[in-house]
A and B are shown apart, each in its own frame.
Chain A
Amino acid sequence: MMISVGAEPIFFLGTFPVTNSMLTAWIVVALFFICGWFIRKQASLAPKGMMNFVDWVIEFLLTEAEKVTGDRERTRKFFPLCATLFFFILISNWMGLLPGVGSIGIHETHAGESVLIPLFRPATSDLNFTLAIAIFSILATHIFGIFTFGFLTHASKFFNVRGIIRAIRRGPMDVVVAIVEFFVGLLEIVSEGAKAVSLALRLFGNVFAGEVLLTVMYSLVSFFIPLPFLFLELLVGLIQATVFSMLVLVFLKSMTDNLHGEEESEHTTH
């Protein structure tokens, strides 16, 4: 039995390797396309059938997001990104629990040993995907920050030259503090990178560990015993989707919180 950390290529489009996680991601994209098309057609003031559920879910998520941001306007801005993250991660995670995902594949011989290359693998168990959405999300927090405060104000959070210039007028002690703050700002850049990496690795680690756990359990006992682990993975899938989207929402909120107020409060505490 071989469980690969990276997604396995299934075929090539020219020189581009199409991996099993990519295939699953395309299925998820197709699913979202169909659902989106259906929802667009069905959206009405008086929803019927499944649209009631869709409306309820969106309304529930909006309310929960508003509890985090505490601001209706910002919630409306951040919601599409956070909700897409939530749904994409959730569906990708749960796709891994479907029969056939991870178990149906192509047998290949490597070093005289037959190896099963699964046709499908959850997109979230591919570090390319988790890194892509994590970096995209962190970049989005900065874009929102720039749109909210302007480029210079947002950049001064990381390169606080403005603080040093202001401190020169106040006195030498303030200059020392401003220089320290400048270096703290530089450290913030590292922390931004760490945010993206931690987001990506947390999601990947949890989902991949779940995949490994399920594969091991299935290979040990085929019936009944893996059931609790399946339920556990259902829960893990939901929790990881929530954690990822909530963290991005919190990052978005902190990036668009009033810097001026923070600066003022910092100065008063100094």
Chain B
Amino acid sequence: MSVEAGTTQEASIEAKETGGIAALGINGGMFFAQLLNFIVVLLIFWKWVYRPIVTMLDRRTETIEKSLKQAKEIDERLLKLDTERTTVLAQAQQEAVELLSRTHAEAESQHQATMAKAKEEVRRLITEGKAQLIKEKEFMIKETRDEIAALAIEVAKKVVQENIDKTRSQVLAKETIETMLDV
């Protein structure tokens, strides 16, 4: 290497001494060799770096855009569902209120009807009871009269059949009255 280096130094100095472009170190072979270096790097970058990464970036952008679109659609659908839910809920609430008020009204009317019916029944029962009581009272009075009449006849018979003195007649009368009271 050192031997060659000695030769190269001489070549370099010789080139500089010729002046002009060579003094700046410009050399056709070196120019093309450096150009080749650059082209190699360009191809490596193009094939191995640029293409895969840009493809990946495009795919990623596409995926992100797709996801964003989907998310937007889902959002819209959710919003729509939410609106629908709110509408349905409001409708259900309204229906429930209507149903409740209708049920209340029906229950009230049924209550009223039942109450009226019950009152009517009670009134009828009272009336019937009263009639029954009067009937029984009349029957009892009639029975009592018959009893008194029978007793009176019994007393009269005894008065007629026996010689009753004043004291005895008073005792008999008293007994008859007690018997009547017992009845």
> Which of chain B's residues 1-33 have a Cβ closer than 8 Å to chain A?
1-2, 4-9, 11-13, 15-16, 22-27, 29-33
State whether A84 touches B46 (Cβ < 8 A).
yes
Residues of A within 8 A of B8 (CB): 8-12, 17, 117
* In the complex, B54 has a CB within 8 A of chain A: yes
Task: Tell whether B133 is near chain A: CB-to-CB under 8 Å.
Answer: no
Please give, as numbers and ranges, the residues of chain B lying within 8 Å of A35 by CB-CB distance. 49
Contact of A36 among B1, B4, B9, B48 (CB under 8 A): B48
Is B9's CB under 8 angstroms from A62's CB?
no
Q: Smallest distance from the beta carbon of B60 to chain A beta carbons, Å?
A: 6
The count of residues in chain B whose C-beta lies closer than 8 Å to any C-beta of chain A is: 47
In the complex, residue of chain B having the shortest beta-carbon distance to the beta carbon of A34: B44
Contacts of B22 in A (CB 8 A): 6
Within 8 A of A (CB), among B144-159: none
A108 contacts B59, C-beta separation under 8 Å: no
Residue contact B54 to A55, C-beta cutoff 8 Å: no
Establish whether residues A132 and B34, one from each chain, have CB atoms under 8 Å apart when the complex forms.
yes
* A136 & B50 in contact (Cβ 8 Å cutoff): no
- Most chain A beta-carbon neighbours within 10 Å: one of B9, B16, B26, B63: B9
* Most central of A33, A36, A55 by chain B CB within 10 Å: A36
Question: Size band of the A side of the interface?
Answer: 35 or more
Distance in angstroms between the alpha carbons of A12 and B10 in the assembled complex = 12
* A6-B12, A83-B50 known; A126+B25 contact, CB < 8 A: yes
Given the interface pairs A7-B30, A106-B5, A117-B5, the reply to whether A88 lies near B41 with Cβ below 8 Å is: yes
Q: Which residues of B contact A87 (CB under 8 A)?
A: 41, 45
Any A CB within 8 A of the CB of B56:
yes
A8-B8, A10-B8 given; A132·B53 CB < 8 A: no
Q: How far is the CA of A21 from the CA of B46 in the complex (A)?
A: 24
| A17 B40 Cβ-Cβ under 8 A | no
CB distance from A212 to the nearest CB of B (A): 14
Assess the B6–A54 pair: CB atoms within 8 A: no
Q: Is A5 touching B42 in the complex (CB atoms < 8 A)?
A: no
| Contacting residues, chain B, for A76 (C-beta < 8 A) | 54
CA distance A110 to B9 in the complex (A): 8
Q: List 12 A-B pairs, Cβ < 8 Å.
A: A21-B34, A32-B45, A35-B49, A39-B53, A40-B47, A45-B56, A47-B56, A80-B50, A123-B34, A128-B34, A132-B35, A133-B35
Known pairs A16-B33, A47-B56, A128-B25 / 19 extra A-B pairs, C-beta < 8 Å: A7-B30, A17-B27, A19-B25, A22-B30, A28-B37, A36-B48, A36-B49, A37-B48, A39-B53, A43-B52, A80-B45, A80-B50, A84-B41, A87-B45, A88-B41, A123-B37, A128-B34, A129-B37, A136-B35
